[in-house]
Amino acid sequence: MNAAIVIQGVDVFHGQGAQRFHAVKQASLSIAPRETFGLVGGSGSGKSSLLRVLAGLSPNWSGSITMAGEAMPPGQRPPRAFHRHVQMVFQDPYASLNPRHTVDRILSEGLALHGFQDAEQRIRDMLDQVGLGPRFRFRYPHELSGGQRQRVAIARAISLEPQILLLDEPTSALDASVQAEILNLLMTIRQQRPVTCVFVSHDLAVITHICDRVAVMQHGSIVEHLTADELISRQVSHPYTRQLLAASEGLSGSDPGA
């Protein structure tokens, strides 16, 4: 089976000239169809920089990337059709939703842009699937809680039936109880839809809850590849991964004496 995402020798840069910063260094990984793959690391590790490249939002990169069977050309913005197959859910749902648009318009714009003819039914279905229902359809983002806004952002992403869903710390801005609800929603979506997910987080407990495999990033480099089970059982080899484990609280299945 062909991989859904293949990344080979990717470097990512921010800024120009003397201010140029090498954010990701020679990253390589392969993600299988319908796999949920985690990128974990502390602030500045390069995980979100790599995710933005995969989303087509950052053209300053070199190397080789294939997404859903299509090669991404370095230094160029991908065509509109790319975003039909690759969607992203951002960390801050309030910032990612237009405050002047109702939920209905937020959902309908993407469907119209990509030529969907069944927008009415699709909007109703999406609101039901993310646990909001019709009463939220004509509300504005400021009338919603943080968790409800993130549900709208998820509905917008999955309404296009993408092959790849990119998630940049989608629960970190939410209260703990709401985090669990959004994670359970994402797990349900993953089970019901043929979608490949890349999940960025600094929280090992979240990563091990939802991901199949994990790449640990430090200072822009991937320092270790692990399965979620290996992470939970602390079968790790890199000192930085051990530091993350030591700093993590409530990692299910871990041995505090290890």
- Domain range summary for the chain, segments of one domain joined by +: 33-56+79-247
Overall fold of domain 33-56+79-247: Rossmann fold (3.40.50)
- Res 258: pLDDT: 32
For 116-163, what is each residue's pLDDT tens digit? 988 999 999 999 999 999 999 999 999 999 999 999 999 999 999 999
Outline where DSSP puts E strands in the chain: 5-14, 21-31, 36-40, 61-67, 70-72, 86-89, 164-168, 196-201, 213-218, 221-227
Q: What is the pLDDT of residue 96?
A: 86
SS3 content of the chain, % helix, strand, coil (to 5): 40, 25, 35
Percent of the chain scored above 90 by pLDDT? 72
**Percent of the residues in the chain that have a pLDDT greater than 70, as a whole number:** 96
Please tell me the distance from the alpha carbon of residue 217 to that of residue 244, in angstroms, as a whole number. Answer: 11
Residue 51 has pLDDT above 90, yes or no: yes
Q: How are beta strands 196-201 and 213-218 bridged, if at all?
A: unpaired
- 254 has pLDDT over 60: no
pLDDT at 77: 87
Rg from Cα positions in the chain:
18
Where does residue 31 rank: exposed (0-12), middle (13-18), buried (19+ CB within 10 A)?
A: buried
The string of pLDDT tens digits covering residues 201-245 is 988 888 998 999 999 999 999 999 999 999 989 999 999 999 999
